[in-house]
Structure formats: structure tokens, C-alpha cells
């Protein structure tokens, strides 16, 4: 069954979302995810530390029409490295986590994702969809880097999806949102907006903040330190500071560091 092609001024300029698979285990699932992406018009795939290495010959038969996506897939050792040009990211998770993070349905989340994409035409940066490993899903350190979580309201006790199913669900919802918005006038409303800082910039600031707080003895309880650090990251993720705001915060850290050294 064929679906309509995306067209029009907006989609000539908007990159499709980057699909990021964190610690994928089976090549077959990576291939099936690439096929799901191709079905819905997504083309950019990033792999974080695939268990069986890359390239994986088991992926190609499952990808069928999506083998070109596999050929162009980028591999990174860490999620932070893969976010070098990402300004907004939605994580997918079937289980609630102990952190303050907005949770939306896939439909609502992908509509927000599309809005962020359109903003990116003027302000730069890309958007991404993040998926966890087949067996364990995303861990807290991965989830905290996302701006929000998409959670499908599936049957209780049967809410876990195969990796490729999850990719298809989110990719399809993005496609529906895109098709419905082809003739919108959103491009006219985005000029002059201050863009949130890229995730790479945000991560650099947070690493610097954690290091300085550590030097000052803030993380005195070593058992609680990882939780406190995640809470700090979650706070700044929700705030979505701009590049200018991050520069201001860096200036504060520099001033505090000078005061500490006296």
C-alpha cells in the first residue's frame, strides 16, 4: 500500500527526524527499524554502541527497501556524542521513571516534534527520536537527556513493543502530523524566536556545572550523587535554556570559580 509523498515549501526545507537507537542488540531489529523508517519517509539513523558491532549483515535482509538507510547509518560510542547537532529530542519508554519529565502520547509528541522541526528552519539544529535497547529500554542517564517522553497508552500488562514496532509507531505519527501540516503557515510565525540551545551545548554546561559543584564538595554523599546529578540535568532539560542563557550561566560559573580560588 502506497502513501502520499510529502511536498510543499515546508518539507522541502525540513529534515526528517533523526532516529537514534541506543545500544541495539540484534541486527535483524536494526534492519526492521530501517524499513519502518523508509515506509514513513525518515532517512537518518544513528546507532549508539550496537552490541554486535556495525555493519551487521543480519540487518540487510530485514531492511528490504531501507538498505540505503543502513548504508548511511552513523555509529557513536555514547548518546552524548550522537547529540552534537540535536536541539530537541523525544525519548520513548513504556515504563514511568523517577524523574520530572513531560510525558505525552505519540500523537501529541510528534506534533510538538514537527513544530520544533519547523522552528529549526530559521534557528538551526535538528530533532530526534530516541529508542532504547530491546531487552532493557532506556536507562535513566539516557532518558534525562531527552526533552520529553512519548508513551503509548497500550493495553495494561502488554505495553512493551518490539524495537521496529516502536520506530514505526513514532515515524507514522510524525508522518501523519507532517501530511496534515503541509499547507500550514507556521513558517511565518517562527521568525525572531530564540532557539533552545543544542543538546551538545547543554551537556557541556552541565558537565562543567557538575565538575565545579564536585570541587566545592556539593556531592558529599557519594551514594546520592548520581541521583542529584540526574535531577540537575532534568531541571535544565525542562528549562530548555537558549545559547545566550547558557553563555550567561557559564559566566556565573567562571565568576564563582574565581571566587573559590581566592
* 2 in a structural domain: no
State the number of CA atoms in the 13 A half-sphere of 201 facing the CB: 20
pLDDT per residue as tens digits for the range 50-102: 999 999 999 999 999 999 999 999 999 999 999 999 999 999 987 656 667 88
Rounded Cα distance between 59 and 220, Å, is 46
* 214 in a structural domain: yes
Distances (CA, A) of 233 to 57, 82, 101, 152, 168: 37, 17, 11, 25, 29
pLDDT per residue as tens digits for the range 183-209: 444 433 333 456 778 888 889 999 999
pLDDT of the residue at 13: 45
pLDDT of the residue at 194: 63
Report whether pLDDT(23) > 90. yes
pLDDT of the residue at 95: 65
pTM: 0.73
pLDDT of the residue at 164: 95
* Same domain, residue pair 90 and 184: yes
Q: 25 Cβ partners below 8 Å, 6+ apart?
A: 50, 51, 52, 133, 134, 135
Rounded Cα distance between 11 and 181, Å, is 10
* Same domain, residue pair 206 and 181: no
* Same domain, residue pair 102 and 221: no
25-34, 99-108, 167-176, 187-196: segment of lowest average pLDDT: 187-196
* Structural domain count of the chain: 2
pLDDT of the residue at 184: 47
pLDDT of the residue at 98: 66
The model's confidence at residue 136, banded by pLDDT at 50, 70 and 90, is: confident
* Same domain, residue pair 85 and 204: no
Report whether pLDDT(46) > 80. yes
Of 180 and 112, the one with more pLDDT: 112
Q: By the 8 A CB rule, do 94 and 160 touch?
A: yes
| Average pLDDT, integer, range 146-154 | 91
* Same domain, residue pair 211 and 185: no
* Same domain, residue pair 223 and 148: no
Share of the chain above pLDDT 90, in %: 52
pLDDT of the residue at 207: 92
Domain closes at, from 158, 189, 220: 189
* CATH code, 166: 3.40.1280.10
Domain closes at, from 189, 216, 238: 189
* Same domain, residue pair 185 and 204: no
Rounded Cα distance between 257 and 215, Å, is 10
* 98 in a structural domain: yes
* CATH code, 211: 1.10.8
Report whether pLDDT(230) > 80. yes
Cell numbers given for 223: 551514594
* Same domain, residue pair 160 and 115: yes
Of 58 and 159, the one with more pLDDT: 58
Domain closes at, from 136, 155, 189: 189
30-39, 67-76, 253-262: segment of lowest average pLDDT: 253-262
* Same domain, residue pair 48 and 144: yes
Q: Where are the alpha helices (DSSP H) in the chain?
A: 9-13, 27-40, 59-63, 67-72, 79-82, 106-123, 140-143, 163-180, 199-215, 225-239, 243-261
* Same domain, residue pair 83 and 162: yes
* Same domain, residue pair 159 and 221: no
Of 38 and 118, the one with more pLDDT: 38
* Same domain, residue pair 211 and 96: no
Range of the domain at 211: 199-261
Amino acid at each position: 500500500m502506497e502513501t502520499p509523498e510529502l511536498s510543499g515549501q515546508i518539507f522541502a526545507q525540513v529534515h526528517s527526524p533523526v532516529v537514534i537507537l541506543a545500544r541495539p542488540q540484534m541486527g535483524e531489529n536494526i534492519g526492521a527499524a530501517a524499513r519502518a523508517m523508509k515506509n514513513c519517509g525518515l532517512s537518518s539513523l544513528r546507532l549508539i554502541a550496537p552490541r554486535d558491532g556495525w555493519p551487521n549483515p543480519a540487518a540487510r535482509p530485514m531492511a528490504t527497501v531501507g538498505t540505503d538507510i543502513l548504508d548511511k547509518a552513523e555509529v557513536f560510542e555514547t548518546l552524548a556524542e550522537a547529540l552534537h547537532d540535536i536541539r530537541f529530542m523525544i525519548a520513548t519508554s513504556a515504563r514511568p521513571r523517577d524523574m520530572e519529565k513531560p510525558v505525552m502520547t505519540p500523537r501529541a509528541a510528534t506534533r510538538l516534534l514537527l513544530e520544533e522541526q519547523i522552528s529549526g528552519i530559521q534557528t538551526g539544529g535538528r530533532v530526534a527520536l530516541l529508542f532504547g535497547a530491546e531487552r532493557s529500554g532506556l536507562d535513566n542517564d539516557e532518558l534525562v537527556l531527552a526533552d520529553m517522553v512519548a508513551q503509548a497508552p497500550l493495553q495494561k500488562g502488554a505495553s512493551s513493543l518490539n524495537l521496529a514496532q516502536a520506530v514505526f509507531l513514532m515515524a507514522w505519527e510524525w508522518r501523519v502530523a507532517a501530511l496534515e501540516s503541509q499547507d500550514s503557515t507556521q513558517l511565518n510565525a517562527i521568525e525572531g524566536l530564540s532557539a533552545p540551545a543544542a543538546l551538545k551545548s547543554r551537556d557541556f554546561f552541565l558537565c562543567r556545572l557538575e565538575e565545579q559543584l564536585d570541587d566545592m564538595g556539593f556531592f558529599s554523599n557519594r551514594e546520592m550523587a548520581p541521583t542529584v546529578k540526574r535531577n540537575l540535568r532534568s531541571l535544565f532539560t525542562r528549562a530548555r535554556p537558549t545559547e545566550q542563557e547558557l553563555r550567561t550561566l557559564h559566566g556565573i560559573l567562571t565568576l564563582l570559580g574565581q571566587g573559590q580560588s581566592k
